[in-house]
Protein backbone atom coordinates (compact mmCIF):
# COMPACT_ATOMS: atom_id res chain seq x y z
CA UNK A 1 0.00 0.00 0.00
CA UNK A 2 2.82 2.36 0.94
CA UNK A 3 4.50 1.73 -2.45
CA UNK A 4 1.23 2.44 -4.25
CA UNK A 5 0.85 5.79 -2.49
CA UNK A 6 4.46 6.78 -3.22
CA UNK A 7 4.15 5.65 -6.87
CA UNK A 8 0.94 7.65 -7.25
CA UNK A 9 2.59 10.75 -5.76
CA UNK A 10 5.59 10.41 -8.09
CA UNK A 11 3.28 9.98 -11.08
CA UNK A 12 1.25 13.08 -10.11
CA UNK A 13 4.49 15.06 -9.70
CA UNK A 14 5.73 13.99 -13.14
CA UNK A 15 2.43 14.91 -14.81
CA UNK A 16 2.50 18.31 -13.05
CA UNK A 17 6.04 18.94 -14.26
CA UNK A 18 5.09 17.98 -17.82
CA UNK A 19 2.07 20.30 -17.74
CA UNK A 20 4.22 23.14 -16.37
CA UNK A 21 6.80 22.53 -19.11
CA UNK A 22 4.03 22.57 -21.74
CA UNK A 23 2.62 25.81 -20.29
CA UNK A 24 6.07 27.41 -20.31
CA UNK A 25 6.64 26.23 -23.87
CA UNK A 26 3.24 27.58 -24.97
CA UNK A 27 3.90 30.90 -23.20
CA UNK A 28 7.33 31.13 -24.84
CA UNK A 29 5.83 30.46 -28.27
CA UNK A 30 3.10 33.04 -27.68
CA UNK A 31 5.66 35.63 -26.47
CA UNK A 32 7.82 35.00 -29.55
CA UNK A 33 4.80 35.48 -31.81
CA UNK A 34 3.83 38.71 -30.00
CA UNK A 35 7.41 40.00 -30.26
CA UNK A 36 7.44 39.19 -33.97
CA UNK A 37 4.13 41.03 -34.47
CA UNK A 38 5.38 44.08 -32.55
CA UNK A 39 8.67 44.13 -34.45
CA UNK A 40 6.79 43.93 -37.77
CA UNK A 41 4.63 46.90 -36.75
CA UNK A 42 7.76 48.86 -35.81
CA UNK A 43 9.44 47.99 -39.12
CA UNK A 44 6.34 49.29 -40.91
CA UNK A 45 6.53 52.54 -38.89
CA UNK A 46 10.21 52.99 -39.76
CA UNK A 47 9.54 52.42 -43.45
CA UNK A 48 6.68 54.93 -43.32
CA UNK A 49 9.09 57.41 -41.79
CA UNK A 50 11.62 56.76 -44.56
CA UNK A 51 8.90 57.28 -47.17
CA UNK A 52 7.80 60.54 -45.53
CA UNK A 53 11.41 61.80 -45.54
CA UNK A 54 11.91 60.85 -49.18
CA UNK A 55 8.65 62.62 -50.08
CA UNK A 56 9.64 65.72 -48.03
CA UNK A 57 6.14 65.56 -46.57
CA UNK A 58 5.69 67.11 -43.12
CA UNK A 59 2.07 65.94 -43.05
CA UNK A 60 3.27 62.34 -43.32
CA UNK A 61 5.99 62.78 -40.69
CA UNK A 62 3.91 64.34 -37.90
CA UNK A 63 1.44 61.47 -37.33
CA UNK A 64 4.40 59.12 -36.86
CA UNK A 65 5.45 60.97 -33.68
CA UNK A 66 3.82 60.95 -30.26
CA UNK A 67 2.25 64.27 -29.27
CA UNK A 68 5.18 64.88 -26.89
CA UNK A 69 7.79 63.51 -29.29
CA UNK A 70 11.33 64.84 -29.50
CA UNK A 71 13.36 65.21 -32.72
CA UNK A 72 17.10 65.62 -32.09
CA UNK A 73 18.84 66.40 -35.38
CA UNK A 74 22.60 66.80 -35.72
CA UNK A 75 23.92 70.34 -35.39
CA UNK A 76 20.49 71.76 -34.60
CA UNK A 77 18.34 72.33 -31.51
CA UNK A 78 15.98 69.63 -30.32
CA UNK A 79 12.36 70.00 -31.38
CA UNK A 80 9.92 69.07 -28.61
CA UNK A 81 6.23 68.48 -29.29
CA UNK A 82 4.25 68.54 -32.51
CA UNK A 83 4.57 72.28 -33.27
CA UNK A 84 8.35 72.38 -32.92
CA UNK A 85 8.73 69.09 -34.80
CA UNK A 86 6.60 70.50 -37.60
CA UNK A 87 8.79 73.62 -37.78
CA UNK A 88 12.00 71.56 -37.83
CA UNK A 89 10.86 69.31 -40.63
CA UNK A 90 9.51 72.26 -42.65
CA UNK A 91 12.97 73.82 -42.40
CA UNK A 92 14.70 70.54 -43.33
CA UNK A 93 12.48 69.96 -46.34
CA UNK A 94 12.93 73.54 -47.59
CA UNK A 95 16.69 73.09 -47.32
CA UNK A 96 17.24 69.57 -48.69
CA UNK A 97 15.63 66.66 -50.54
CA UNK A 98 16.52 63.21 -49.21
CA UNK A 99 16.64 60.01 -51.19
CA UNK A 100 17.58 57.37 -48.62
CA UNK A 101 17.09 53.77 -47.65
CA UNK A 102 16.83 52.55 -44.06
CA UNK A 103 18.58 49.46 -42.77
CA UNK A 104 17.27 48.12 -39.47
CA UNK A 105 20.08 46.87 -37.25
CA UNK A 106 18.14 46.14 -34.08
CA UNK A 107 14.67 46.35 -32.56
CA UNK A 108 14.10 45.68 -28.87
CA UNK A 109 10.56 45.67 -27.45
CA UNK A 110 9.70 45.86 -23.76
CA UNK A 111 6.00 46.32 -23.10
CA UNK A 112 4.75 49.58 -24.61
CA UNK A 113 8.27 50.89 -25.25
CA UNK A 114 10.87 49.87 -27.80
CA UNK A 115 14.00 51.14 -29.38
CA UNK A 116 15.27 50.70 -32.90
CA UNK A 117 18.79 51.20 -34.11
CA UNK A 118 19.10 51.86 -37.82
CA UNK A 119 21.43 53.16 -40.48
CA UNK A 120 20.48 55.04 -43.60
CA UNK A 121 22.26 55.61 -46.86
CA UNK A 122 21.47 57.54 -49.99
CA UNK A 123 21.77 61.08 -51.32
CA UNK A 124 20.84 64.60 -50.35
CA UNK A 125 19.99 67.32 -52.84
CA UNK A 126 20.90 70.70 -51.38
CA UNK A 127 18.33 73.18 -52.68
CA UNK A 128 20.54 76.26 -52.20
CA UNK A 129 23.14 75.16 -54.74
CA UNK A 130 21.58 72.18 -56.55
CA UNK A 131 24.42 69.92 -55.44
CA UNK A 132 23.73 66.26 -54.65
CA UNK A 133 25.90 64.71 -51.94
CA UNK A 134 26.17 61.30 -50.33
CA UNK A 135 24.12 60.81 -47.18
CA UNK A 136 24.91 58.21 -44.53
CA UNK A 137 23.66 58.26 -40.93
CA UNK A 138 23.05 56.09 -37.93
CA UNK A 139 19.81 56.59 -36.06
CA UNK A 140 18.29 55.76 -32.71
CA UNK A 141 14.53 55.68 -32.30
CA UNK A 142 12.76 55.38 -28.96
CA UNK A 143 9.23 54.22 -29.66
CA UNK A 144 6.08 54.23 -27.59
CA UNK A 145 2.91 52.27 -28.24
CA UNK A 146 -0.05 54.59 -27.75
CA UNK A 147 -3.66 53.68 -28.50
CA UNK A 148 -2.44 50.39 -29.98
CA UNK A 149 -0.03 52.02 -32.46
CA UNK A 150 3.72 52.41 -32.38
CA UNK A 151 4.90 56.02 -32.60
CA UNK A 152 8.26 57.77 -32.52
CA UNK A 153 8.80 59.16 -29.04
CA UNK A 154 12.43 60.24 -29.44
CA UNK A 155 14.60 60.30 -32.55
CA UNK A 156 18.28 61.14 -32.92
CA UNK A 157 20.73 60.70 -35.74
CA UNK A 158 24.30 61.57 -36.62
CA UNK A 159 26.68 61.25 -39.53
CA UNK A 160 28.75 58.11 -39.78
CA UNK A 161 31.61 59.80 -41.66
Is pLDDT at 13 greater than 90 in this prediction? no
Give residue 10's pLDDT. 47
- The number of domains in the chain is 1
DSSP, collapsed to helix, strand or coil, labels residue 121 as: strand
When pLDDT is averaged across residues 99-128 and rounded to a whole number, the result is: 97
Look up the CATH number of the domain holding residue 134.
3.10.450.50
Residues 6+ apart with CB under 8 A from 39: 107, 109
Backbone phi, then psi, for 26, in 5-degree steps?
-65, -45
Distance CA 158, CA 161 (A): 9
- Within a 10 A sphere around the Cβ of 149, how many other Cβ atoms? 12
Q: Work out the percent of the chain whose per-residue pLDDT is above 70.
A: 80
Q: List the domain range (segments joined by +) for residue 117.
A: 2-159
Distance CA 125, CA 41 (A): 30
Amino acid sequence: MKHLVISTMVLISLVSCQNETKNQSNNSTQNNMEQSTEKSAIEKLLLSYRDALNASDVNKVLPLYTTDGVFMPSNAPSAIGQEQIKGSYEFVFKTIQLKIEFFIDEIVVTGDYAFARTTSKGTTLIHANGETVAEENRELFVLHKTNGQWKISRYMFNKMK
